[in-house]
Amino acid sequence: MASEEASIFLETSIVSFVSNVDIDESSSDKTATQIAERISDKKFKLLDLIVSLRDYLTSQDLNRRKKALCCLSTVLSKLPDDKLLKNEISVVLSFYASKFDDTLMMQETLSGIYSLSGMKFLSMTEVGPILDLLSNKYNPSSHLAATRYFAFKILEKIYQRFSPKLIEDGELADLFVKTFLHVGNGEKDPRNLLLSFHLNELVSSNWNNVEKFKEDLFDILFCYFPITFRPPKDDPYKISNADLKISLRSAISASPAFAEDAFGNLIDKLAASSPSVKNDTLLTVKACIDKFGGEACLKHWLPLWSSLKFEIMHGNDAGYPDSPVSSPTQISEADNYQLSVNVMRSIASALLQFDEKAFDKFLSHIVEEVRPNFTYEKDLKQTCCLLGSIASANQQIFNKVVALVLPLFFKNSPELSKLKLEIMNLSFFFDAYIRVFGEANSEQNEVPPNSLSEQKDEILMVLSKALTASPKVEVTIRTLSIIQFTKLIKMKGFLMREEVALIVQYIYEAILTDNNKNIYYAGLESLKAIGEIHEDIVFEISLKRMLELLPIDPNEGAQLNENEPVDKETILKAILDFTNSRHKLVKESVLGLSKKLCQVAPYADSSEYCFLIISSIHTLLSNNIEMIRENDAGFIKENIEMPLFAAMTNYPSLQKDDHNLTLLSNIIFFLNLKSPRNTHQDELTRYKKYFVDSLQLFVKPSRLVVPFEKLLCGIDKNCEFNEVEHYFAQTMDLLRSEEITEAQFERLGYLELLTIFTNKWMDEQSLSKFINLDDLSPVNLEMLVWIVKGLVMKNSHHAVLFQEKFVNLLSSSEIGNYMAKLFEVFVVDVITFQKYKGISWNNNVKLTYKQKFFNDVFSRLVDAFKNTSEMDVKSNYLTALSLVSKHISSNLIEPYMNEMLPLLLQSLDMPNSEVKVSALNTLLDTCEKFHQLITEHVQTLSRSLLKLVSPVSYNSVSVRVLALRMLETLTHVVPLNHLLPFKEDIIDGLLPVLDDKKRIVRKQCVGTRQAYFELGQVPFE
Amino acid sequence: MSEFINETPTVLEDNQLPTRGEDTDGNLLLGTDVTKESLHRTKLLLKIDNSLQSPVLQNVELLTKLLQLNQAPELTTDESDEDTDDMADELGVPADPIDPQEIYDLIAHISDPEHPLTLGQLAVVNLKDIEVHDEGYKDRMAEVIVKITPTITHCSLATLIGLGIRVRLERALPARFRITIFVKEGSHQSENQVNKQLNDKERVAAACENDQLLGVISKMLSTCK
C-alpha cells in the first residue's frame, strides 16, 4: 500500500486532473506527467492510481467515469515504455478490456490500450486478445474520427512490433488482417485514411497471407479511388490532397496480388472525362506496372493498350518535343497524353525484364497496328511519339523498336511537306536516343552499337537534302533541318568527327548565304551548341573559313563556293554573333581579324572596310573583356601589336581616319589592360622608345599620340615613368603651338595625355608649377580642364579649388559661354578611363567621382545662378549644369530635384539644343518619381514644351521628339484634374507639328495627341 | 467563339504586316552630336552589330562630341553651330514625305470592333489600297484615299470601321489633307450606301458628339502604336 504522503498526493492530483481535463489541457497534462514521474520513480505503483481512481471509475455519472479513465490513459501515455512489468500490463489490459462494454468511453479505452501496446514488456500472448477485442467489441461506425484514430494506431503499433512473429504464427496474421479490415471499414477521416492506406500497403507488400484477403484488402482501398480532398481552413493536420493521392496510389500498387483487380478497375476509370481523374488514374496505372512487374503486365497489356490507344492517337497532342511546354501547375490534356505514352513505356520495360518473347509479341502487335499509319500518313506524329517513347525505355528496347520502325521511314518522297513531317517524326527517335544513351560531351563519347546508327546515312541524307536541296523560301523545313542536325550532334557517340564537320559546314553556308532571320539565328544557336561539344571543329570549319573568306582588297566581294556572293558585313556579323562568350573562338577571331586588318590597310580606299574590321575586334574585346585571360591577352598582344603599330604608322586608312585610329588604340588598350602586370614596366619602356624616340611625339604634333595615350591608360600606375614633368611640360608647349590649332584630333590626344599624366604620375604638389590660372586664353582653359579632370577622377581635394575658379569663370562675358561647354569634359566617359571589373591598378578612377563632382558643383552653380540677373550669364550656369547632369545617372540627381526643377524649366528656353536635350532627358528620367513637383509646374512646363515642338532654331529633331515625349508622359504623371484645363491648348498647339518634315517627329506627335484626345475619355467596354 | 459573325477570317501575324523596315534610322537621329560622317559610320556599324548600346557606337559618338567640343571658341558660337545643324536637317537628310506606308502604320493597328485583332491583321486595310496625293507644299491641299475591305460582304460594321479610320486620320494628319474612305469595289453588298455614309461630313460630325460611340472608337484606337 502506498504511503500516506503518496496517497494524499494521488488524491489531490486526481482531483486536480479531473477538474482541469477538457478545460485546461496543459494543466491536466502537467498533473498527469507528475503522476507518471512518481510511478516511474517507484514512489507508488500504477495499481495505487487505479485504486485511488476506483470511486470515480465506478461512479454512476458518465462524465466522472470518463474523466477518471482519461486520467489513467493519459498517465499511461506519459510513462516510459519499460516501467510496467509483464503482469502489470496484463492486469491493466484486462481492466481496459472490461471497459469495452462502456462504449461511450471508447476513446479513453483505446488510447490506453495504444499506450500499453507500445510497452516493452507487452507479451505476444496479449496480442490475440487485443485484436479480438477490436474486431468483436469495437464498432468503428459508431465512434468519432478521433476515437477511430487510436484503433488504427494500435494496429500500426502491433504491426511494427510483432510483424515477423505474427506471420510466423499464421493464424494471428490472419486475425490481424481481419481486424484491420474491420477497423478500416467505412473510414472517412483523411488522417485515419492515411494510416489505413499505410497499414494496407505494409501488410500487402510484406505478408504472404495477402492472397487470402486480396479482394477485401483491395476493395478497402479502391473504394476511395480517385480520391479528392480539399483541406478545410486551419486544418490542424496539414494533410493535402496530394498526400492522400500518393498514399492511396502506393497502397494500390503495393502488391502484385492486386493486379487482377487493379488493372480491371483502373481501365474502367480511364474512360473518365475529367482530366484530373484521368491523370490520377494514369499515374496509378504506371505505378502498378512499375511495381507489379512483367508477369502481371503480360495478362493486362492488351486491354490497357486498347483503352490507351484512343488517348494516344486522338487525344490532345503533346506537341513536338521541341515546342515549349505549357504551365506545369495545371493538369492539362497534354500532360495526360504524355502520361499515357509513358505508361506504354513502362509496360515495355516491365515486359522485357520478364520475358523477351513476351516483349517481342507486344511490340510486334503495336507496330502491326500502327503500320497502316505509315502507309496512309495518318496520325503519324502520335504514332512516332508513342514509338519514340517506348524506345526510350532502355537500350535493348531502343534497338528493337528502331530496327522495326525506322525502315518504315525514308520514302524519298519529292514533296517537301512530307519531308518536313518525316524529319519532325524522326526527331522523336533522336530524343529517345539521347534519353537512352545520353548527351554528347567533349570527353568520352563511346556508346554500344545500336540500330539507329545503322540508319545514320539515311538520316543524314534526309536532313542534308532538306537543308541544301530545298529552295531558300522554304524557311520552315530548312530551319527544322538545322535544329535536327544540332540534335544529332548532341546525341552521344552518334556521329563521327567527319560527319560533324560536314554538318558544321552546311550550317556555316546557310548562315552566310541565307538572309532569312530565322535560319540565321537557328544556325547561330546551332553553332554555339556544337561549339560546346566540338569547339575545334567549329573553329576549323566555320570560324577559320569565315576569316579566310573575308577579301583583302576592299573593292572585292567575298564569294562562297565560287558563285554565291556574301557581304563582308554578313561575315563579320556572323563572327561577332557566334563567337560571343566562347573563349577560344573570341581569341582566334581577334587574332584572325587583326591579321586581316594588316593585310587590308595598305589598300588606298580601305578606310571603311578597316572601320568594319576594327569595330568587330573592338566589339569582341569590349563585350568579352571579363572573360579574356591573362595569357590569352599576352599571346594576342605578342602576335599582333607590332604589326598593328606598323600598320597605323604607315597606312593612311588607319592613321588619317579618326574613328579607325581611336578604336584601334582602344583595342591595344584592352590587350594591355589584360596582359600580365609584371611585363608592364618593360612594355612602358618599349612604348616610350617607339613613340617618343622614334616617332618624336613630343617634338611635333602627331596623330599617333592617340595610341600612345590609350596605351598608357592600360599600364600599371605603379610603373616608373621617368621625367614625367618634362613630358608634361612638352605636351603643354605643343598644345600652345600654332601648328596644332587646326588639328582637332591631335589636340584631343594631347589633352587626354595631360589627363593621364595628372591622374597617374604627376605629383599633385608640383602641378602648380605648370598651371596658370590667370591666362584666360581658350587653349589654356582647355588644358586646365583636362588636367583637372585627372584630379577629379581620383577625388583629389586639389580639384575642388579649381572648380571654384571654373564656376567663377562662367560669369565672364567673353569666355563664360565656352567655359560652360567645357564643364562636360569633367564627367564625360572616355572608354579608356573607365573602371573594369577586377582591375584596380590601371587608373586612379574612383567609382563615385561623378557623384562627388556633381555634389560639389551643384550648389555653387545654383547659388551663382540665383545671384546674377544677367540672362547671358544665367544661361552659362544652366548650360554647365545640364551638360554635367547629362552624365549623372538620374537616381543621383533625385536628391537635388527640388532645387533643380526651376533651373531645368529655364534651360528649356536656352538658345542651345544640347542644353535643351539634356534638360528634357533629365525631366523624362525623373518625372515619374516627382509627379507632385511636376504637377505644381505643369502650366509653365506645358507652355515651354509647346514652344519646343516647332522646327525653329535650336529645336533640333531630338529636342522636338523629346518635348513631344515629355508632353505624352505628362498624361501618365499629372493627375487628370490638373491636366484637363490644358487639353485643348495642347491638342491645338500640336496641330502644326503633324506636318513636320521628319517622320519620327510626326509619329511621336500623333502618339502624344492621341494621349490627349484620350484624356478623360472612358473607353467603351 | 460563335459570337463572331465571321468565324474564319484569314489572319496575319503582327510581324507579317508590311513595314518600312528601317526603324533604327529614326533613333539614330536622336544622338545629339550627329555629323554626316559619324552617321554614315553608325549605319555601317549597325550592319554588323545591331545594338544601339554597343561600345563601338558610343565611342564613335563620343569622339565626334569631343572633337566638336575642343574646337576653339571663336568657331563654335552657338549660331554657327546651329546653322550647320539645320543644314544637315534640310540638305543633308531630306524631309520624309507622308507616304502610303505612313498612313498604313497609322491605321493598321486599329482594333477591329468585333475580333480581338487589328485591321491590318485582318487585311481590312492593305498597303496597296492606300493612295496619297501630296506635293509636299505646306500651303496646298493634299488628299489621302483609303479603301477598306470588309471581311465579309454583308459586314454591318464597315461604317464603324470607316469612322474609326477617319477619326484616327483626322487626328493624325495635318489639316491640309482631305481624307476619303471607300469600301473596296465589290467587297460589300451595299457599297454605294456605305461609301456615302463614310464620307458624309454631317454624319461624321454628329457621330463624334455621341459619347458612347466615342468610347467605342477610343477602344478601337487604344491598340495603335
Residues 86-105 of B with CB under 8 A from A: 86, 89-90, 95-96, 98, 102, 105
CB A470 within 8 A of CB A510: no
Question: Residue B171 is nearest to which of A741, A956, A1010, comparing CB atoms?
Answer: A1010
The predicted model gives B100-127 an average pLDDT of 87
| Interface contact flag, B44 A608, Cβ < 8 Å | yes
Q: Which residues does A567 contact at the CB level (< 8 Å), separation at least 6?
A: A557, A558, B47
**Domain shared by B186 and B125, yes or no:** yes
Chain A residue with minimal CA distance to B99?
A: A999
Q: What was the pLDDT predicted at A953?
A: 77
If asked whether residues B106 and B192 sit together in one domain, one would say yes
pLDDT tens by residue, B33-86: 456 677 777 777 777 776 666 777 777 777 877 777 655 444 333 433 333 344
CB atoms B70 and A751 under 8 Å? yes
Which three cell numbers mark A427?
526527331
Radius of gyration (C-alpha) of chain B in whole angstroms: 23
Contacts with A576 from chain B: Cβ below 8 Å: 48-49
CB contact under 8 A, A998 and B95: yes
B157 part of contact set with chain A, CB < 8 Å: no
Q: pLDDT higher for A208 or A1008?
A: A1008
Cell of A827: 564627367
Tallying the residues shown for chain A, one arrives at 1021
- Judged by DSSP in three states, B99 sits in coil
What's the sign of the alpha-carbon dihedral A1008, A1013, A1018, A1021?
Answer: negative
* Residues of chain A positioned with their CB less than 8 A from the CB of B80: none
CA-based nearest distance B106→chain A, Å:
9
Instruction: Give A455's pLDDT tier (boundaries 50, 70, 90).
Output: confident
Residue type, A162: F
Query: Considering CB atoms only, which of A619, A1000, A1007 is closest to B29?
Result: A1000
Please give the tally of structural domains in chain B: 2
pLDDT at res. A805 = 85
* Chain A residues with CB-CB distance to B110 below 8 A: none
The C-alpha torsion from A485 through A486 and A491 to A494, rounded to 10°, is 40
pLDDT over 80 (residue A285): yes
**Cα distance between residue A207 and residue A854, in whole Å:** 83
Whether residues B88 and B105 fall in one domain = no
Region A188-198 average pLDDT: 87
CB contact under 8 A, B172 and A751: no
The three-state secondary structure class of B128 is strand
**Do residue B89 and residue A956 have CB atoms under 8 angstroms apart?**
yes
**pLDDT confidence bin for B146, thresholds 50/70/90:** very high
Please compute, for residue A700, the number of CA atoms within 13 A of its CA located in the half-sphere on the CB side.
Answer: 3
Which of 127-156 (B) contact A at CB < 8 A?
138
**How near does any CA of chain B get to the CA of A745, in Å?**
7
Residue B2 within any structural domain of the chain: no
pLDDT of residue B70: 59
CB contact under 8 A, A619 and B56: yes
pLDDT at A471: 76
For chain A, what is the radius of gyration of the CA atoms?
Answer: 44
* Res A537 pLDDT > 80: yes
CB burial of residue A894 (10 Å; 0-12, 13-18, 19+)? middle
Tell me the sheet residues that pair with A558: A566
> Measured between CB atoms, does B210 come within 8 Å of chain A?
no
Tell me the pLDDT tens digit for each residue of A655-713: 888 888 889 999 988 888 888 888 888 888 888 888 888 888 888 888 888 899 888 88
Domain around B190 = 97-221
Residue among B171, B173, B219 minimizing CB distance to A1013: B171
Q: Residue A479 pLDDT > 80, yes or no?
A: yes
Tens digits of residue pLDDT in A868-881: 877 778 888 888 88
Same domain, B54 and B77: yes
Answer positive or negative: Cα dihedral of A942, A943, A946, A951.
negative
What residue type is A4 in one-letter code?
A: E
Based on the fold, state whether residues B85 and B187 are members of the same structural domain.
no
Domain closes at, from B62, B77, B92? B92
B29, B70, B72 ranked by CB distance to A957: nearest: B29
E strands, A107-231, in order = none
pLDDT value of residue B210: 86
- Domain residue spans of chain A: 416-422+434-549, 912-1014
B78 & B162 share domain: no
pLDDT of B16-31, one tens digit each?
Answer: 677 765 544 445 445 4
The confidence score (pLDDT) of residue A951 equals 82
pLDDT of residue A937: 86
Within 8 A of B36 by CB-CB distance, chain A residues are none
Query: Are A1006 and A994 spatial neighbours (Cβ–Cβ below 8 Å)?
Result: yes
**Residues of chain B neighbouring A831 (CB-CB closer than 8 A):** 55, 58-59, 62
Q: How far is CA A233 from the centre of its chain?
A: 34
Is B5 a domain residue? no
Within-domain flag for B168: yes
CA separation for the pair A217, A115 (Å, rounded): 27
> In degrees, to the nearest 5, what angle opens at C-alpha B214 toward C-alphas B211 and B216?
115
Which of B15, B198, B173, B205 lies closest to B102 in space, CA to CA? B173
Are B141 and B72 in a shared domain? Answer: no
Q: Answer positive or negative: Cα dihedral of A839, A840, A845, A849.
A: positive
Mean pLDDT of chain A: 83
Mean pLDDT of A62-80: 85
Are the Cβ atoms of A817 and B73 closer than 8 angstroms?
A: yes
* Residue B125 sits in the same domain as residue B212: yes
Beta partners for B111?
A: B118
What's the pLDDT score for residue A85? 82
Give the cell for residue A400. Answer: 528493337
Amino acid at B18: P
Nearest-Cα distance to chain A for B110, in Å, is: 13
Would the ipTM clear 0.95, i.e. be above it? no
- Residue A411 binned pLDDT confidence (cut-offs 50, 70, 90): low
Give the strands of the sheet with B125-133, arranged side by side.
B125-133, B142-148, B177-183
- Judge whether residue A318 has pLDDT over 60: no
In this complex, which of B30, B73, B215 lies closest to A818 when CB atoms are compared?
Answer: B73
Three-class SS state of B205: helix
CATH code for the domain in which residue B152 is found = 3.30.300.130
Q: Compute the average pLDDT of residues A888-914.
A: 81
Is the Cβ pair B82, A991 closer than 8 Å? no
Chain B residues within an 8 Å CB radius of A911: 78
The residue among A7 and A595 whose pLDDT is bigger is: A595
Whether chain A has a CB inside 8 Å of the CB on B69: the answer is yes
Which grid coordinates are listed for A798?
586639389
B173 and chain A: CB distance < 8 Å anywhere?
yes
- Find residue B125's DSSP bridge partners: B148
Q: Which element (helix H / strand E) includes A559?
A: strand A558-560
Cell of residue B136, nine digits = 509636299
Q: Are A694 and A650 in contact (CB under 8 A)?
A: no
Q: Mapping DSSP to helix (H, G, I), strand (E, B) and coil, where does residue A560 land?
A: strand
| DSSP string for residues in A901-943 | HHHHHHHTTSS-HHHHHHHHHHHHHHTTTTHHHHHHTHHHHHH
pLDDT, one tens digit per residue, over A338-358 is: 888 888 888 888 888 878 888
pLDDT of residue A331: 53
Nearest 5°: CA angle at B214, between B213 and B218? Answer: 120
Whether the CB of B63 is below 8 Å from some CB of chain A: the reply is yes
* Boundary residue ending a domain (B50, B72, B92): B92
Separation between Cα atoms, residue A790 and residue A833, nearest integer Å? 10
Nearest to A958 among B32, B67, B105 (CB): B32
Is it the case that residue B154 has pLDDT exceeding 70? yes
CA distance between the termini of chain B = 27
Measured distance between the N- and C-terminal CA atoms of chain A, rounded to whole angstroms: 89
Instruction: Tell me: pLDDT of A834 over 70.
Output: yes
Question: Is there a single domain that holds both residue B125 and residue B179?
Answer: yes
Q: Which residue of B has its CA nearest to A577?
A: B49
C-alpha to C-alpha distances, A193 to A236, A242, A850, nearest whole angstrom: 16, 13, 69
Report whether pLDDT(B126) > 50: yes
Residues B84 and B105 in one domain: no
Residue B169: name the closest of B178, B158, B157 by CA: B178
Domain match, B79 and B132 both: no
What residues pair up with A564 in beta bridges, in sequence order?
A560
Q: Which of B42, B73, B92 is the last residue of a domain?
A: B92
Strand partners, A15: none
Q: Which residues of A241-269 are buried (b: 16+ CB within 10 A; e: fewer)?
A: eebbbebbbbbbbbbbbbbebbbebbbeb
Q: Are residues B186 and B110 in the same domain?
A: yes
| C-beta separation of A997 from A956 below 8 A | no
Q: How far is A178 from A990, CA to CA, in rounded Å?
A: 90
CB contact under 8 Å between A745 and B67, yes or no, is yes
